[in-house]
Amino acid sequence: MLNLHLPRAVGAWLNSLTGQSPAHRPEAADTVMHWPPTAARVLVSAERHAHKCLAQVLALEHPKGFLLAHVPLHKLVRVPKQYSYREWLSRTGLLTADFALCDEHGYVRSVLLMPVAEEQARQSRKRERLLRVLEATELKVTLWDREWQNETPERLRQILFPRMRADGYYADTPHAAH
């Protein structure tokens, strides 16, 4: 007769050899007990300064818009459905944009990236992959310059949201691409 409990019996036997008893098996609650979580600072100092400036700029360009920080790439772009989304996500799933400036409808209008330390080769490679994908979307991608903290919001608006159309054009609609 076939014993359907054989894997459980083998597992118990292996546990007895390694000295683990079933009573000491880790549980889901142990994760919190062993690694007590605490609140973290989401934005470092340079990012906080940039966020303040960007919020002022966004209020000028899209008063009801959204300023999002640390946005995963898969939330910013869409890919064709005839290819494997799972494979694309495995290649780009850990890439994030530092800031996304969105209109009131939630469409991304501009992406801002903070500078990366030059000695971090791995971060630089990730940044290059992120830039390749974002540039293919034709989104306005800007690398933050620390000197911009001293710029006026109107000047930053010109940098982050360049006018591609005449002044009378109202571009805060979901179908408008700029």
Q: Domains, the chain, ranges and CATH?
A: 45-159 (3.40.960)
Binning pLDDT at 50, 70 and 90, where does residue 164 land? low
Q: pLDDT-derived band of residue 8, with 50, 70 and 90 as boundaries?
A: low
Strand partners, 22: none
- Per-residue pLDDT of 107-155, as tens digits, reads 999 999 998 877 788 888 889 999 999 999 888 999 999 888 888 999 9
pTM over 0.85: no
Least confident of 12-16, 18-22, 23-27, 60-64: 23-27
Q: How far apart are CA 10 and CA 1, in angstroms?
A: 17
CB 49 within 8 A of CB 149: yes
What is residue 174's predicted lDDT score, i.e. its pLDDT?
52
- CA angle at residue 175 from 83 to 90, to 5 degrees? 25
Average pLDDT over residues 85-107: 89
Give the model's pLDDT for residue 58.
Answer: 93
42 Cβ partners below 8 Å, 6+ apart?
A: 69, 70
Q: Is pLDDT at 2 greater than 60 in this prediction? A: no
The residues near 30 (Cβ < 8 Å, ≥ 6 apart) are none
Mean pLDDT of 19-44: 74
Give the pLDDT confidence of 44-93 residue by residue, as tens digits.
999 999 999 999 999 999 999 999 999 999 889 888 888 888 888 888 87
Query: d(Cα 178, Cα 107) in Å, to the nearest integer?
Result: 11
Give the pLDDT of residue 35. Answer: 86
Average pLDDT over residues 22-50: 79
Which of 4-8, 14-18, 28-32, 66-70 has the lowest average pLDDT?
4-8
The 10 Å Cβ neighbour count of residue 99 is 24
Give the Cα separation of 160 and 111 in Å (integer). 8
Q: What are phi and psi for residue 134, nearest 5 degrees?
A: -65, -40
**Which of 112, 101, 1, 3 lies closest to 61 in space, CA to CA?**
101
Specify the pLDDT at position 87.
Answer: 86
